[in-house]
Amino acid sequence: MRRPAIATRSTLAGSTPHSGPDEVIVVGGGALGVTLAAMFLRRGLRLAIVRRCSALGRSPPVQGVRGALGSVRLPASVWATELPAHSPRRPLLIVLATKSYDIPGAAPVLRSLVRPQDFVLMTQNGIDVEETLSGVLPRDQVGRLILDAGVVREGPTVRVTYARGGSIVPLDPSASRWSARVASHLRGAGLAVRHTGNLDRAVWLKSITGAMSVVCTLFDLPIGAASALPAAASLYEGLANERFQVARALGVGLSRATLGACAISNASAAAHLPSMLVDRRHGRPLEIRFDVERVLSLAARHRLEVPAHRAAAKRLRRLMPKGRA
């Protein structure tokens, strides 16, 4: 599968790769950003969570994380409303934990913040979501975290409903030492994350599993209840099969057993409320551009019929807040 073009750092004179972070800045104070911040704090790294910058809006501070990864208290000192001062020479990890539609608003912040020795870790779900940073950052300073975990905010805390692990994939192989080091930190904090070089496989596995978030959003049900409802289960089967066919058309190496493994993964997260459903309940925009809409675009390119995605996209657009569809 051809990746979207992102500039390389080869034109930056004197730039050298680094093996890992000394400091971490999390941009975005939502449930996932807070959870990752807690894991880095557990590892003893210097940390700041930026909850207001550019067009990102404001998230009220969270006091801690609890659940499947244990309990971590977040001191008030880690929260910032502006970019904090950081060491001029030491490598910095910037965790981009915003919604995908907020990334354009974060672009000016990233341009001013990221130096040649730094690395940006994207946490957004979706197919080709890294293209939102095309022309903003060099390809070899960006990686993606594909996480198999559920997090949800509950009052003053974030609860981790399940955490099976995931993958960190650099967009350019030259950043492999960076992504391997970040994965090592997360493993040390209790989150089973590994470094891998196969972005397409990781993305499409998550996409097939994540088709359930579309179903949950449309039926307004958690994963377990949606799976038990025949109409919802049938829609998930249709979406998962169509995503499998599109991935195969793109040359992604998946076997039929993938579908069963993804269904089992969803079954073990029965109580979880996917973030898209949470967004629906709060009247926020739905992240469909790099989900159902991207599948529709890729299917059309390969002349594949995807009726379940066409129907789901139509229904999801009707749920979008006015002016954001």
Q: At 47, is the secondary structure helix, strand, or coil?
A: strand
Q: Quote the CA–CA distance of 44 and 197 in Å, as a whole number.
A: 27
pLDDT digits (tens, 9 = 90+) for 129-170: 999 998 899 999 999 999 999 999 898 999 999 998 899 999
Share of the chain above pLDDT 90, in %: 70
Q: Which of these, 306, 150, 324, lies nearest to 224 by C-alpha position?
A: 150
What is the model's pTM? 0.88
- What span, in angstroms and rounded, lies between the C-alpha atoms of 50 and 157? 17
Question: pLDDT category, 61, cuts 50, 70, 90?
Answer: confident
321: CB partners within 8 A, 6+ apart: 283, 284, 285
Q: How confident is the model at residue 60 (pLDDT cuts 50, 70, 90)?
A: low
Helix spans in the chain (H): 31-42, 103-113, 176-188, 199-219, 223-228, 230-249, 257-267, 275-281, 292-301, 307-319
pLDDT in tens, 66-117: 999 999 999 988 888 777 777 777 889 999 999 999 998 888 888 888 999 9
pLDDT of residue 323: 56
pLDDT in tens, 1-17: 433 332 333 222 223 34
Domain 201-319: give its CATH superfamily. Answer: N-(1-d-carboxylethyl)-l-norvaline Dehydrogenase; domain 2 (1.10.1040.10)
Q: In this structure, which long-range contacts are made by residues 99-104, counting pairs with CB atoms below 8 Å and at least 24 apart in sequence?
A: 99/28, 99/30, 99/124, 99/285, 99/287, 100/124, 100/125, 100/126, 100/129, 100/132, 100/287, 100/289, 100/290, 101/285, 101/287, 101/289, 102/28, 102/55, 102/56, 102/57, 103/132, 103/133, 104/55, 104/132
Confidence of residue 220 (pLDDT cuts 50, 70, 90): very high
pLDDT at 59: 57
Q: How far is it, in rounded angstroms, from Cα 103 to Cα 12?
A: 24
Report, at the CATH architecture level, how domain 23-197 is classified: 3-Layer(aba) Sandwich (3.40)
Please count the residues of the chain: 325
Q: Report the C-alpha gap between 128 and 169 in whole angstroms.
A: 13
Q: Which residue has the higher pLDDT, 63 or 315?
A: 315
**pLDDT confidence bin for 324, thresholds 50/70/90:** low
Q: What is the pLDDT averaged over residues 294-320?
A: 97
Which token pair is 49? 């969570």
DSSP code, position 285: P
Which helix (H) or strand (E) segment is 150 a member of? strand 142-154
Percent of the chain predicted with pLDDT > 70: 90
pLDDT the model gives residue 169? 95
Residue 204 has pLDDT above 50, yes or no: yes
SS3 (DSSP) at 242: helix
Residue extents of the structural domains in the chain: 23-197, 201-319
